[in-house]
Chain A
Amino acid sequence: MAEVKKVATRDGYGMALVELGKINQDFLVLDADLGAATRTGMFKKEFPDRFYNCGIAEQNMISLAAGIASTGKKVFASTFAMFAAGRAFEQIRNSVGYPRLNVKIGATHAGVSVGEDGATHQCCEDIALMRTIPGMIVINPADVVEAKACVIKAFEVDGPVYMRFGRLAVPVIFDEDYEFQIGKGIELRPGTDVTIIATGLMVAEALQAHEILAAEGVSARIINMATIKPIDKEIIIKAAKETGLIITAEEHSIIGGLGSAVCEVTSEKYPVKVIRIGIKDTYGISGPAVDLLKYYNLTAEEIAKTALQAVKCK
C-alpha cells in the first residue's frame, strides 16, 4: 500500500490565514501565547503587524476580539479548544455569539489526539458547548484541504464561526480543488446496508472501515459531516431512509457532539437505530496520539466491527 500523505488540520488553519492575509488587509489574528502550536505563528511570520499576542488570557482575548469585530473588522482568535470553548465559553456566548459578531475562533488541539499532554488539554466537549450557542457555526474539518477551505468560507460568512482543528497529522483525503460548503455533508462512498457519518479525523477511519466492510460483503455509505452546526438534515434523513442504520464516529464525547446532533435529526424526522462511536463520558489520558485513538476505540476496525454487528441484527 502506498504511503498516505499526512498533515495536521492545524497546519491548514495556518496556511489559510497566510493565504487570506495576502489578499485582505482588513482583518486581525489574535492568539494567547500558543502561536507556534496553533499555527497562527505562520501568519505572524508573514504579517507581524497584523498579529496580536494576547498572552495567557483567553477570556480577555475573546471579548477583545468581539470589540475589534464590533468596529466592522473581522478577526480570528486562536488557542487550544480547551481554553477557547472551555475556559472562554461564556465570553464566546455573551461577547461574540449574542451580538453575532464577526469573530472566527480557530480552536486547535481538540480531542484526545493532543496526546501526551493528557486529560487537562484534551477537549472532547467543545462541539457540544459551541453547538448550544444560538447562531454559532461549528466546523470540524477532516483533513488539511478541508481545513484550509473552511477557514476561507468562515472568513466570508457573516457572524461567528467555531473551527475545530487537530494536532495530529492525519491522512489527506481531498484534492486541492475540493469545494467546501458550510452546512453540507458529503457522501464519500455509496452504500446501502449502513451509513457511517464521521467528522474530523474519524473520516479517514470511516473510509478504511468502508473497505473492511466491503470485504465482508457489507455496503457502507460514508458521509463526511464537517459542519456540525447547522447540520445537514437532508443527507441524514436520506441515509436513514435508504440504509435504515446509522453509525456516527467522532473524536469527541458521544454526549452533545455529532452523534447527538444526528440523533436529534433522526428521532424527530425518521427514527432509525443510531450507534455513536466517540469518547464515552470519560476524560482522556496521556500517551502517544495514535495509541490513544486505539485505546479509545476510535479506529476503522472498531467502526467496521460495530457496523458488522449492527447490520447482522437488522
Chain B
Amino acid sequence: MVKLMDIKTKKRLMQTACKVRMGIIEGTYNAKSGHPGGSLSIADILTYLYFEKINIDPNNPQMPNRDRFVLSKGHAAPALYSVLAHRGFFSVEELKRLRHIGSMLQGHPDMKNTPGVDMSTGSLGQGISAAVGMALASKHFKSGFKVYCAVGDGELEEGQVWEAFMFAAHKKLDNLIVFVDLNNLQIDGTLDDVNSPLPVDKKLEAFNWHVITIDGHDFDQIEQAVEEALAVTGKPTAIIANTIKGKGVSFMENAVDWHGVAPNYDQYKAAMAELEEYLKSLED
C-alpha cells in the first residue's frame, strides 16, 4: 500500500531540507535571536510543500490562484524564509538580515514585506483562522486553489484554533490541509509540563476532520499523507506530524532551551559543520 517516493526526488528533497536548515541557523545566528527549535522541526514539511507540491511561482509571488501556505506557528519564520529563499523568492544572502532594522525578514512573517508570505502571522491561533478564510474564499469564488497551514502543538492551547477547526469542518473545507507540528515542546517545557492538548488525533476526529498521523521527517510519509488529504472530500484534513524539535542539529534536538534562543558563534560553527557533513553524505 505504501508507494515510495522516487529515490532521486527523495535525495534531492533531503539535500534541500539540509540547506534550508543551514539557512535557519544562518538567520538566527545573525539575528542573535529567533526560534531555531521549532523552525528545524517543520523544515522537512515546508521543503516538501514548496519544492514538490504547492502551486506557486517565485517570479510571480502574487499569482491570484496560487496555492496558499499559512505558517500559523509564525515564530518558525526562519524556516519559511529559508525555504522561500532557496525556492527563489529572494536571495539566500537575505537570510543573514533576519530581524535586522529595515530587513524584509521580520521576526514573524509579514505578508506586506516578504515575497511569498501569504499571511502575516505570529500571534498564535490567528493564522489557522486566516487559512480557513482563504479556503472558504477559494471554494466560494471557485478559484480552485488549495490552502496549506502549519500549527504548532503548543499553539493548540489557544482557543481560537478550535474555533477554526470547528468552522472548517462545518463548512466541509476539503481544500484545506493543516499540519500539526507535534514536537512535544513549548517554551516552558514539554506539552505535559504545561497544558497538554493531547490526544490531538482523537480531538480532531471528534471535530469531524480527516486525520492522518505521520513521521514529519519522512518524505515518503509526508507525500503519502498529502496525496491522501488531497483525495479526501467533504472534510478538511489534519496531518499530525510527529517531529523532533531542533531536528538536524544534534545538540538542539529535543532540547527545550532551543525554543527561542539563537546559537552563539561556537554553536553556530558546530551546527553548520554538522549540517555540511550531512549534506556531503547525501552527495555521495
Whether the Cβ atoms of B129 and A59 lie closer than 8 Å is: yes
- Within 8 Å by CB of A65, from B133, B160, B164, lies B133
Q: Which residues of A contact B166 (CB under 8 A)?
A: 55, 57
Q: In the bound complex, do residue B141 and residue A73 qualify as a contact, i.e. CB atoms below 8 Å apart?
A: yes
* CB nearest to A93 among chain B residues: B123
Interface-facing stretch out of A95-103, A179-187, A224-232? A95-103
Chain B residue with minimal CB distance to A88? B160
Tell me if B119 counts as interface (CB < 8 A to partner A).
Answer: yes
A223 to B43, CA, bound (A): 58
- Bound complex: CA A62 to CA B112 (Å): 19
Residues of the B chain whose Cβ atoms lie less than 8 Å from the Cβ of A52: 136, 171
Contact indicator A64/B120 (Cβ below 8 Å): no
- In angstroms, how far is the closest chain A Cβ from the Cβ of B162? 9
Pick the residue among B120, B133, B170 that contacts A99 (CB under 8 A): B120
A286 at the interface (CB under 8 A from B): no
A70 partner, pick from B119, B125, B167, beta carbons under 8 A: B119
Please pick, from A26, A55, A72, A90, the residue contacting B64 in the complex, using a CB distance under 8 A: A72
**Bound Cα distance from A64 to B134, whole angstroms:** 8
Residues of A within 8 A of B5 (CB): none
Q: Are A67 and B163 in contact (CB under 8 A)?
A: no
> In the complex, what residue of chain A is closest to B125 when comparing beta carbons?
A59
Contact status A64-B167, CB under 8 Å: yes
In the bound complex, do residue A67 and residue B129 qualify as a contact, i.e. CB atoms below 8 Å apart? yes
Known: A55-B167, A57-B163. A63 touches B137 (CB 8 A): no
CA distance A43 to B130 in the complex (A): 23
Cβ–Cβ < 8 Å partners of B159 in chain A: 59
CB-defined contacts of A70 to chain B, threshold 8 Å: 68, 111, 118-119, 130, 133-134
The A interface is mostly helix, strand or loop, or mixed, namely helix
Residues 100 to 129 of chain B near chain A (Cβ within 8 Å): 110-112, 118-120, 122-123, 125-127, 129
* Residues of chain A lying within 8 A (CB to CB) of residue B40: none
Q: Which of A24-52 contact B (CB under 8 A)?
A: 26, 28, 50, 52
A68 touches B133 (CB 8 A): yes
**Within 8 Å of chain A (Cβ to Cβ): is B143?**
yes
Q: Is the CB of A63 within 8 A of B111?
A: no
Nearest-Cβ distance from residue A289 to partner chain B, whole angstroms: 31
CB of B131 within 8 Å of the partner chain: yes
Q: Which residues of chain A come closer than 8 Å to B111, judged between CB atoms?
A: 70, 99
> Nearest Cβ in chain B — how far from A206, in angstroms?
40
Partner of A71, one of B112, B143, B170: B143
**In contact, A68 and B64 (Cβ under 8 angstroms):** no
> Does A263 lie at the interface of the complex (its beta carbon under 8 Å from any beta carbon of B)?
no
Q: Report how many residues on chain B are interfacial, defined by Cβ distance under 8 Å.
A: 35
Tell me, yes or no, whether B140 is within 8 Å of chain A by CB: yes
* Residue in A55, A67, A90, A100 whose CB lies within 8 Å of B130: A67
**Is there an interface contact between A98 and B120, defined as CB atoms closer than 8 Å?**
yes
A277 interfacial contact with B, CB 8 Å? no
> What's the nearest-Cβ distance from chain A to residue B9, in Å?
30
Cα of A257 to Cα of B189 in the assembled complex, Å: 42
* Residue with the highest number of chain B CB atoms closer than 10 Å, among A52, A90, A99: A99
Tell me which of B111, B112, B137, B170 has the highest count of chain A C-beta atoms within 10 A of its own C-beta: B137
Instruction: Number of A interface residues at 8 Å Cβ cutoff, please give it.
Output: 28
Q: Which residues of B contact A293 (CB under 8 A)?
A: none
Chain A min CB distance to B213 (Å): 25
**A69 and B129 alpha carbons, distance in the complex (Å):** 12
User: What's the Cα separation between A105 and B137 when bound, in Å?
Assistant: 18
**B123 contacts which chain A residues (CB < 8 A)?**
90, 94-95
A258 at the interface (CB under 8 A from B): no
List the A residue with the shortest CB-CB distance to B140: A28
| B83 interfacial contact with A, CB 8 Å | no
Establish whether residues A54 and B130, one from each chain, have CB atoms under 8 Å apart when the complex forms. Answer: no
A-side contacts of B171, CB under 8 Å: 52
Indicate whether A57 sits within 8 Å of B167 (C-beta atoms), given known contacts A64-B132, A67-B119: yes
Verify if B138 is at the interface (C-beta below 8 Å from A).
Answer: yes
Tell me the minimal C-beta distance from B121 to chain A in angstroms.
8
B12 vs chain A, min Cβ distance (A): 31
On whether the beta carbons of A100 and B112 are closer than 8 Å, the reply is yes
How long is the Cα–Cα vector from A64 to B226 in the complex, in angstroms? 23
In the assembled complex, the CB of B212 is this many whole angstroms from the nearest CB of chain A, namely: 23
Residue in A52, A68, A91 with the greatest tally of chain B CB atoms within 10 Å: A68
- For residue A66, CB closer than 8 A to chain B, the reply is yes
Pairs of residues from A and B, 7 with the lowest C-beta to C-beta distance, nearest first: A67-B133, A63-B129, A67-B130, A60-B163, A64-B133, A57-B163, A99-B120
Told that A67-B119, A70-B68, A98-B110 touch, could you supply 5 new A-B pairs with CB distance under 8 A? A55-B166, A57-B167, A64-B167, A94-B123, A98-B120
A-B contact pairs, 10 of them (CB 8 A): A57-B160, A63-B129, A63-B130, A64-B132, A64-B136, A66-B126, A67-B133, A71-B143, A94-B120, A99-B112
Residues of B within 8 A of A (CB): 64, 68, 70, 110-112, 118-120, 122-123, 125-127, 129-138, 140-141, 143, 159-160, 163-164, 166-167, 170-171
